[in-house]
Amino acid sequence: MLLAVDIGNSDITLGLWKDQEWKFVWRVSAKPDLPELYYGIKIRDYFFESGTEANQVRTIVLSSVVPGLTEKIRNVVRTLFEKEPILLGPKMYDQLPLGILNPYEIGSDLVANASAAYFAHKKTCIVVDFGTALTFTTVSGEGVILGVSIAPGLRTAIKSLSQNTAKLFDVPLELPTSSLGKNTVTAIQSGIMFGYEGLVRNVVLKIKEELKTDCLVIATGGLSSQLVSLKDLFYSVEPDLTLDGLRRIGEWMNAQGK
């Protein structure tokens, strides 16, 4: 049994892999100011409620883009499972079958995304991750991360707009029926949702033009299903792609005896 832990800016996602599937996927808010005890209790309760014994976990792979949470969660995992997790980061990238540009500047979640795409397809892929940030990670069929593009995520854009503009407020992330907003809510939805549809299509087009080749475009992230109008652009929508990347990295490291 393998436990993958993805510490993102908004949530900590935990996936329990057994019998060739994700038996459970849990999420808890990522708040660096909360103590280790809080996260320890949450994770312990998840296992208790699922009827899973901690000693059944053989491998733990951890990715974090929140420095204030990395050691806290690492310590929690050590205590609960009595195992040292594989910490995905620059110090171990050279042990992976990937070519990574500027290893100290790329987020470990993006490396996990690229790993998942590479191991699964062995073709040039663009992974579009709809998270706190909207990221485009391009990996070649030979396993080389060719580059990354980053924009504010959908929720981040709406939150920024509502926090910095008088008389605007948070609105649901829903695709409106018309591009002509009739009130404040539909006006913001129109600008953000239709605007981001064009953003995603254009960035993917630019990448393909520069590479002069077709690519598999894979969508992931908690908001990957929000822009239904992009369905034709994506080869697949895989909400658990980052967890899959962490799993594949864990399996690779185990196979190499590392």
The catalytically annotated residue of 6, 109, 129, 240 is: 109
Q: 22: which strand partners?
A: 17
pLDDT score for 178:
87
According to DSSP, the residues that pair with 136 across neighbouring strands are 128, 149
Residue found under tokens 């990347």: 245
For the chain, give every residue range classified as CATH 3.30.420.40: 2-87, 91-245
Q: Which two tokens stand for residue 85?
A: 């997790």
What is the torsion angle, in degrees rounded to the nearest 10, for the CA atoms of residue 248, residue 249, residue 250 and residue 253?
A: 120
- How do beta strands 21-29 and 11-18 pair? antiparallel
State how far the alpha carbon of 235 is from the alpha carbons of 112, 213, 215, in Å: 18, 15, 9
The CATH class given to the 2-87 domain equals alpha beta
pTM for the full model?
0.90
Question: CA–CA separation, 95 vs 224, rounded Å?
Answer: 30
181 phi and psi angles, rounded to 5 deg = -60, 135
| pLDDT tens digits, 103-157 | 999 999 999 999 999 999 999 999 999 988 999 999 999 999 999 999 998 888 8
Choose from 35-39, 100-104, 230-234 the range with maximum mean pLDDT: 35-39
**Per-residue pLDDT tens over the stretch 10-63:** 899 999 999 999 999 999 999 999 999 999 999 999 999 999 999 999 999 999
Q: Would you say the C-alpha torsion 210, 213, 214, 219 has a positive or negative sign?
A: negative
Degrees (nearest 5) of the Cα angle 36, 42, 48?
A: 130
Does domain 91-245 bear CATH number 3.30.420.40? yes
Concerning whether 240 is annotated as a catalytic residue, the answer is: no
How far is the CA of 195 from the CAs of 101, 109, 176, 191, in angstroms? 30, 25, 12, 5
